[in-house]
Amino acid sequence: MTERPNILFLFSDQHTRKITGCYGDETVHTPNLDRLATSGVTFDNAYTASPLCVPARMALLTGRYPYA
Distance CA 30, CA 1 (A): 39
Could you say which DSSP state residue 23 is in? G
Point out the catalytic residue in the list 19, 28, 52, 53.
Answer: 53
**In this predicted model, what pLDDT tens digit does every residue of 1-49 receive, in sequence order?**
688 888 877 776 667 778 889 889 999 888 998 998 898 888 778 777 8
Give pLDDT, residue 68.
Answer: 60
Structural domain boundaries in the chain: 15-42
Identify the pLDDT of residue 31: 93
Please indicate whether residue 22 is annotated as part of the active site.
Answer: no
Alpha helices in the chain (DSSP H): 31-39, 53-62
Q: Please report the pLDDT score of residue 57 as a whole number.
A: 83
Helix, coil or strand: residue 36: helix
